[in-house]
Structure 1
């Protein structure tokens, strides 16, 4: 854990949070600015800036907790789906968002909303050649 990291401070109990799950390696708590009520964050207690730096067994624990929360959210909110995604935009500590989706665009990127909230705009499609090039690059070690 680092001294000044917001999520490390929450994990140490130095800052308050509405905790919905905690064990020796992870913690889940409500997001202060939820997309929807129930929006939770699942963090490793150990400080990892990027999700790709989280050791695989620890990432699996985050996924297990997220799935458990998703089942609860479906039951509590009567939603068909729950989104789970990692971001690192505001706090440089790996964290998963678990969000009950009441509307189809609850977690949609702005890139898909050119027609507004009631429509859906697919971003421009890449050419087959570009898709093949990107696939080759991502498949390399």
Structure 2
């Protein structure tokens, strides 16, 4: 069994641009964002899929997803967002994670084709993470 990279992010063993953390969930920038501000929200509890998350944890987890979604939209001056979660198929890391992608009209995103990019550099990723943390503090 391979170690879980998201569990390593949660405990700080793998560097990330963390934008939110509490006893329930951790949110951080996707290393290969669709658009700047693309975040992943993961539960601290290691489960592979949404169906593995214990029922009492679903509400608290998605309350964090909702909060981060609002922050992404405000911080990135987005008209809306795309919130997605895969179970097994197309799930690159076997740890439940929800993608939150800022969206704007005519942004080029079509259906489920997700063109991946990179941040310009570490400073760009840090600046985007700072904006999201500030929006979460509101």
Pair in the same fold by TM > 0.5: yes
* Distance in 2 (alpha carbons) for counterparts of 1:78 and 1:40: 15
Which of 83, 91, 94 aligns to 1:92? It is: 94
* Distance in 1 (alpha carbons) for counterparts of 2:17 and 2:59: 23
Secondary structure at 1:14's aligned position in 2? coil
User: Does the C-alpha gap of structure 1 residues 106 and 66 become closer, same or farther in structure 2, counting only changes over 3 Å?
Assistant: farther
User: Does the C-alpha gap of structure 1 residues 14 and 107 become closer, same or farther in structure 2, counting only changes over 3 Å?
Assistant: farther
* Distance in 2 (alpha carbons) for counterparts of 1:55 and 1:73: 26
What are the equivalent positions in structure 2 for 1:1-141 lying under 5 Å apart?
4-87=3-86, 88=88, 89-103=91-105, 106=109, 108-110=111-113
User: Does the C-alpha gap of structure 1 residues 32 and 57 become closer, same or farther in structure 2, counting only changes over 3 Å?
Assistant: same
Which runs of 5 or more residues in structure 1 are unaligned? Answer: 111-141
Deviation track 1:107-140 (CA, whole Å, cap 9, x = no partner) reads 6224xxxxxxxxxxxxxxxxxxxxxxxxxxxxxx
* Distance in 2 (alpha carbons) for counterparts of 1:52 and 1:5: 18
Secondary structure at 1:41's aligned position in 2? strand
* Distance in 1 (alpha carbons) for counterparts of 2:57 and 2:110: 25
User: Does the C-alpha gap of structure 1 residues 41 and 107 become closer, same or farther in structure 2, counting only changes over 3 Å?
Assistant: farther
Which runs of 5 or more residues in structure 2 are unaligned? Answer: 114-138
Contact 1:83 / 1:107 at 8 angstroms: preserved in 2?
A: no
* Distance in 1 (alpha carbons) for counterparts of 2:110 and 2:53: 23
The alpha-carbon deviation at position 100 of structure 1 amounts to: 0.5
Q: TM-score, normalised by structure 1?
A: 0.68
Structure with more contact order per residue of length (Cα contacts < 8 Å, sep ≥ 6):
2
